[in-house]
Amino acid sequence: MNLHGIVAPAIGAVNPFVSATMQVSTGYTTNPDGSRVPTYSTVTGQVQVQALTYKDLKQLEGINMNGAARAIYFYGEFNGVLRARQKGGDIVTLSDGPNVGKWLIVQMLETWPDWSKAAVVLQTD
């Protein structure tokens, strides 16, 4: 049962969904000098941006993140750093609303078959 699909219209009436572009990590390429360059595939969609809850903040203790942080709900599965798969964190770019900018997924807070919740931190260019 997709509970997010059931409650999303009601939540969207209070806190509107915003357009987002997700850069999904596909690994990296290695340059001739040995440096690595991350590679991404791009996906677009609608996301819900909210403040982190107390429980979220407790879950994030110990990862030493600084700066502006939010929770983002979205359809699909995205990831933070997956060292075993040699992938970096996915990047969410918000182009409208009060949270415009590039946000790095630092931790997945919830993953379900149809939707996910991630903790993100605002990145500087």
pTM above 0.75, yes or no: yes
Distances from the Cα of 15 to the Cα of 18, 25, 39, 51, 62, angstroms: 9, 28, 32, 11, 30
Check the CA dihedral 29-32-34-37 and report its sign.
Answer: negative
- State the pLDDT at residue 19: 92
The pLDDT confidence band at residue 20, using thresholds 50, 70 and 90, is very high
- Give the range with max mean pLDDT: 10-14, 48-52, 76-80: 48-52
CA angle, residues 116, 117, 118, in degrees to nearest 5: 120
HSE at residue 89, side-chain half, CA atoms within 13 A, is 17
Q: What is the CATH number of domain 3-122?
A: 2.40.10
Name the residue ranges covered by the structural domains of the chain. Answer: 3-122
